[in-house]
Amino acid sequence: NPTDLTVYKLSTLLDHAGNTSSIALVQVLEYCNQISALIEPTLLLFKTAHPIQDSALRQALDNNIAKAIQGHIYS
């Protein structure tokens, strides 16, 4: 994997996307992948300019994605 950003694996979810909630979750994860691809060049520039803060920023982004997914699951 050429980037440090989490790439979500959808194959397992796609196998179990038999209900509306699972299908919606797969769509959310697909959007996360698309957003990750769009922001990765900016994150790489940030990493070069601010190497110490880079890991904190990436962790915050990952945590917010996880919260969004959890919110979807429990809603």
75 residues of the chain, pLDDT tens digit each: 444 444 445 555 555 555 666 777 777 778 878 888 888 899 899 999 999 998 888 888 877 777 776 665 555
Q: What pLDDT sits at residue 62?
A: 79
Which pTM value belongs to this model? Answer: 0.54
Q: For tokens 């982004």, what's the residue?
A: 61
Displacement of CA 8 from its chain's centroid (Å)? 6
Q: What is the pLDDT of residue 50?
A: 93
Report the residue count for the chain.
75
Specify burial of residue 8 (Cβ count, 10 A radius: 0-12, 13-18, 19+).
middle
Residue with tokens 């979500």: 8
- Is 16 within a domain? yes
For residues 45 and 15, give the distance between their C-alpha atoms in angstroms, rounded to a whole number: 36
Q: Is residue 6 part of a domain?
A: no
Is position 5 within any domain? no
User: Into how many domains does the chain fold?
Assistant: 1
Q: Residue 26 belongs to what domain range?
A: 11-73
